[in-house]
Amino acid sequence: MSKVDKKLLKNTFFGLKKDNKYSILLTIWEALEQTRSNRKDKGEYMKAFLILEDGTVFEGKSIGTTRDMISEIVFNTSMTGYLEVLTDPSYAGQAVVMTYPLIGNYGMAEDDYETITPTIGALIVREYNDVPSNFRSESTLGKVMSTYKIPGIYGIDTRRLTRSIRDHGSQKVLLTDVKTPVEKGLNILAATALAHDSVARVSCQQTLVYPADTEKFHIVAIDCGIKMNIIRSLNARGCKVTCVPWNTPAEVIETLSPDGIFISNGPGDPTDVPQTITAIKKLIGKYPIFGICLGHQIISLAYGAKTYKLKFGHRGGNHPVKNLKTNKIEITSQNHSYAVDADSLLETPLSVTHINLLDQTVEGVVCERDRVFSVQYHPESAPGPQDSTYLFDQFITLIKEGCQHAERTDLKNTCHWFRSDCHRSGGGV
């Protein structure tokens, strides 16, 4: 609201008669009381408890649904973007601590969802705002969490909780609305194993097609939990995107005649998806390939490298990454528990292209011979900065160069990634 608007509103209000002022204030108060009442009816003011594996207990209030949940607890340092975090398939089964203290203040808008059905384990915040101020807001965070049966807790010391995760690493946590004795809670945590089928749960179950307004290229995306903004980013560059399930064989992918292959982000340990790794091994060298996050790890494993689990992972929108080719620093959005082992890359044809300046971990690799590259972070910027959107353009350039090569060497009839409509639409020109 501009200064002129504020002044006009102020003058209008104070220019009213006393009875009219009282009526307006009473209306506002009644609306707020109704909101509070609705929240109480939904159980959003019930007590909730967190029990960590190390025995630490946090007491707060419940938001969303009220049910017991055992998850791996992690933290995200983004100042905005709780909507995208809540709907990011890469958080499947995880309890996410938002380090920024105020959450919920701008509500929820479906156009910004990263997936149709959120699969996050739980959401943990310091202060929850159930009266959002945003013209795009369609619902409150608490209501959406209730709809999708996502438990949450607010009113706890998230700074203390985050320090605990940094000191002791990611660990299992029990979220409950019942004050469970610590010893009982620890026994429950010890007896419960975390799931290893998260990718299968968030991947599409059948082939899905996302057309572009002007189609120049055809990308087959192996869906390990793909974010919608990745699809939007490819669509905006003239790419029709065909999403296939995570375990689709290479032979089936080839029948779709793609111009390029994309491997998406996703939750969990990359070694849990050997079918995807096998498919990539067979596709390497036949198509330009681009991977993001879990896709980056899968590509590295396909070439024979190794991955390992970080102590508490990288999650946030402010991670500095150095591009070793340009020497420029990119501020990146990240969400991952695993990283590629740098030493293991020495025995592969992959070269490191990006490093994380916080801990020197590998953030990008390339094999120019095979036209394959990947990054650990999220250039689609949802949420987060847009420093790295050029990577999508880099992928398109690889596809165009492939079309040019096919045309020059008269391989139109044999090259898997050359299509005549690519040339007609301007690819390779």
Active site residues: 293, 378, 380
**Residue 277: Cβ within 10 Å count:** 18
Provide, for the chain, the percentages of residues in helix, strand and coil under a 3-state DSSP scheme, each rounded to the nearest 5: 35, 30, 40
- What kind and span of H or E run contains 12? helix 3-14
Contact status, residue 329 vs residue 322, Cβ threshold 8 Å: yes
Helix orientation angle between 18-41 and 3-14, rounded to the nearest 10 degrees: 110
Rounded Cα gap, residues 236 and 219, in angstroms? 13
Q: Would you list the DSSP string of 33-86?
A: HHHHHHHHHTTTTSEEEEEETTS-EEEEEEEEB---EEEEEEEE--SS-HHHHH
Which token pair is 133? 């101020």
**Phi/psi of residue 226, each to 5°?**
-65, 140
Residue reference for tokens 């998850």: 71
Q: Count CA within 13 A, CB hemisphere, residue 220.
A: 27
Alpha-carbon torsion, ordered 300, 306, 335, 326, to 10 deg = -50
Q: Which of 142, 57, 159 is nearest to 101 (CA)?
A: 159
CB 221 within 8 A of CB 231: yes
| Sign, CA torsion 357/225/197/315 | positive
Phi and psi at residue 145, to the nearest 5°: -65, -40
Cα dihedral 325, 327, 328, 329 sign: positive
Can you give the length of the chain in residues? Answer: 429
* Strands of 341-420, DSSP E: 351-356, 362-367, 372-375
